[in-house]
Chain A
């Protein structure tokens, strides 16, 4: 796991600009439970960064430590190069959009948005101008005199965003901000958030368990599991070259087949078939590994160089594509075939066929531990 962490750091350092947030060996223990385990991470200025993982993976705890709501058990948090680990939230140049929005019910929308500015002694015309500007940024100008309860969930969400952004923080933290919205509104807000982030240029750190949401919005994603980083990278890197079985299956659908390394770019599968993989993907591993290939990368016509014989066990027509489950000697495999030609006929169940795929589309992860 540390190996993966180090590699991720190396990737992050490749394109280093200004670093807004640096987490150094950050840990958080609740009684006996380790929520965050020696996490090190750099977040670049101006990026839209997503912390993605299943519930209980430590992503929210990490965010809360950056915000100052949880004290780290050990490790450091640097904000724009300054150690803020011991500072209370109100002394950090960070604002949060809470999952529950946490709008002040006794204050008007104007006063909600003005709350942070008033604490910073912004007064008079400038206060009014910035509040109005911020409300317009989220498309809710003119609601200044309402109370939070008079607004819909989607509007409250935008107010929470305006209330945080109006302070022009160094970093904006978003704790599953879209979790309470219905699907349609959520999709809308994903694009909206991305637009706003481009417009204001502030670093966004977004916590979510929704992989699609993270892929849609973030420039960089870190996938967390058991309080540690599984992998960090761009959405496409994580999808195309997952480095662990966890990442491969958490992000989309993967076919994972057990095998043994037989050469610098060769793996023999359980049934004896030898397939080629990328040298880099193998990363010098030896012994037992798993190779992975995404369902949409598989061809049913045997046109690519890695091949595997199998029998169609099940097929399902789902409009844009047809989904097949193919039983092979190396294990069951899922394949998606694009329905991009008129009158495409599904291959009947029981047919024998040859699955094939490009070696460049093959990734390698560690063998499944006996569990």
Chain B
């Protein structure tokens, strides 16, 4: 509880207070300035929408890639399981910024990938990858993929193979037994993976900054520049709260749709 108080409640209260202040750096005065919130939202609505959109697409793509991967490692990995998992998290040994910079090089206009795609006419002669929405979304997907794979793996690994045998004994073919047994039992992993990917992705600014242009900027970029460049702390704090609140609402809707009793396994 002391930890929670020190590292969560105190900063939150401080941030909340700041979001209601007014003035210019370095002199802010507390004044219940609720207008900070409405001003922030109306001024940066496109970035908000874009954040949710990019994070949502990246999460969906990550889930689509990770589920088969985690499934394969959990059920077919055999004694190489740990090696495969190590390979999944291997990129983490290089820092986030460097990895994203590497992608900047890979996707650059003079890079191999763009050259190849132009040669085979998938991209036009002046087509680009860098500075597009696709590049930003791909970057986010790539950077948060392990956060999706690991919880999925854990929940799939915990699915008792004897349950799949039992399903098969009870006339379920492979497709049905996946749909009725494996998938429902792995939903907690899906839930955890989606949260772990979506939440940081929605607040991400590195990918948009390095792989995109101001036209791809997300709310994270706005908050970052408000805090660090413009020193407009109250607006930045208000934006942070709005972001937090909208994520919370989305998470709750998502949890509802998956069924909370299924996730905790309790209930009648």
Docked complex Cα distance between A100 and B169 (Å)? 14
A90 to B268, CA, bound (A): 29
- Residues in chain B near residue A94, CB distance under 8 A: 169
Bound-state CA distance A280–B108 (Å) is: 92
Number of interface residues of A (CB under 8 A): 29
Is the C-beta of B101 less than 8 angstroms from some C-beta in chain A? no
A107 CA / B171 CA spacing, docked (Å)? 17
Interface check B29, CB cutoff 8 A: no
Partner of B169, one of A96, A120, A145, A149: A96
A172-189 residues at the B interface, CB under 8 angstroms: none
In the complex, what distance in Å separates the CA atom of A68 from the CA atom of B265?
A: 30
A86 touches B (CB below 8 Å): no
Contact present for B165 and A89 (CB under 8 Å): yes
Encode A45-89 as 1/0 by CB contact (under 8 A) with B. 000000000000000000000011100000000000000000011
Docked complex Cα distance between A280 and B263 (Å): 66
Indicate whether B267 reaches chain A with its CB closer than 8 angstroms. yes
Establish whether residues A119 and B176, one from each chain, have CB atoms under 8 Å apart when the complex forms. Answer: yes
The reply to whether A95 and B169 contact each other, CB–CB distance below 8 Å, is yes
Q: Given the known inter-chain contacts A90-B173, A98-B162, A145-B268, please indicate yes or no for A104 contacting B181, CB distance below 8 A.
A: yes
Which listed residue, B172, B173, B262, B268, touches A115 by the CB 8 Å rule?
B172
Residue of A nearest to B268 (CB): A145
Give the contacts of A86-128 with B (CB-CB under 8 A): 88-91, 94-96, 98, 100, 102-106, 108, 115-116, 119-120
Residues in A neighbouring B163, C-beta threshold 8 A: 102, 104-105
**Which residues of B from 144 to 186 have beta carbons under 8 Å from A?**
160, 162-163, 165-173, 176, 180-181, 184-185
Query: Of B172, B176, B184, B268, which one neighbours A146 at CB under 8 angstroms?
Result: B268
Taking the complex as formed, is A147 at the interface, i.e. its CB lies under 8 A from any CB of chain B?
yes
Give B33-47 as 1s and 0s: 1 = Cβ < 8 Å from A's Cβ atoms.
000000000000000
* Residues in A neighbouring B166, C-beta threshold 8 A: 96, 98, 102-104
A102 touches B173 (CB 8 A): no
Instruction: Say if the beta carbon of A28 comes within 8 Å of chain B.
Output: no
Q: Within 8 Å CB of B172, what residues of A?
A: 90, 115, 119
Distance, CA A106 to CA B166, complexed state (A): 14
A147 in contact with B267 (CB, 8 Å)? yes
Q: 10 tightest CB-CB pairs across the interface, nearest first?
A: A116-B170, A102-B166, A119-B171, A89-B168, A102-B162, A90-B171, A115-B170, A96-B169, A106-B184, A89-B169
Residue tally, chain B, CB below 8 Å to A: 22
CB distance from B159 to the nearest CB of A (A): 10
A146 to B181 CA separation, bound complex (whole angstroms)? 18
Q: How long is the Cα–Cα vector from A115 to B171 in the complex, in angstroms?
A: 9
Cα A108 to Cα B261 in complex, Å, equals 12
Which residues of the partner chain B approach A69 to less than 8 Å between Cβ atoms? Answer: 165, 168-169
Q: A100-B162, A102-B162 are in contact. Are A167 and B268 (CB under 8 A)?
A: no
Interface 1/0 per residue, B52-71 and A, CB below 8 Å: 00000000000000000000
Selected contact of B268 from candidates A88, A116, A147, CB within 8 Å: A147
Distance (Å) between the CB of A368 and the closest chain B CB?
A: 40
Binary interface encoding of chain B residues 235-268 relative to chain A, with 1 for a CB under 8 A from any of its CBs, else 0: 0000000000000000000000000001001111
| A163 contacts partner chain B, Cβ-Cβ < 8 Å | yes
Residues from chain A with Cβ under 8 Å of B265 in the complex: 105-106, 147, 149
A95 and B170: CB pair below 8 A? yes
Q: How far is the CA of A96 from the CA of B267 in the complex (A)?
A: 28
Give the complex CA separation of A116 and B165 in angstroms. Answer: 13
Residue among B171, B180, B266, B267 with most chain A CB within 10 A: B171
Among B162, B173, B184, B185, the residue within 8 A (CB) of A88 is B173
When distances are taken between beta carbons in the complex, the residues of chain A under 8 Å from B185 are 105-106
- Which residue on B lies nearest to A95, using beta carbons? B169
A112: shortest Cβ distance to chain B, in Å? 9
Distance in Å: Cβ of B60 to nearest Cβ of chain A: 24
Chain B residues positioned under 8 Å from A96 (CB to CB): 166, 169
- Taking CB as reference atom, which chain A residue is nearest B181? A104
Could you jot down 30 A-B contacts, CB within 8 Å? A67-B169, A69-B169, A88-B168, A89-B168, A90-B170, A90-B172, A91-B171, A94-B169, A95-B169, A95-B170, A98-B166, A102-B165, A102-B166, A104-B163, A104-B167, A105-B163, A105-B265, A106-B181, A106-B185, A115-B170, A115-B172, A115-B180, A116-B170, A119-B171, A120-B171, A145-B268, A147-B267, A147-B268, A163-B170, A167-B171
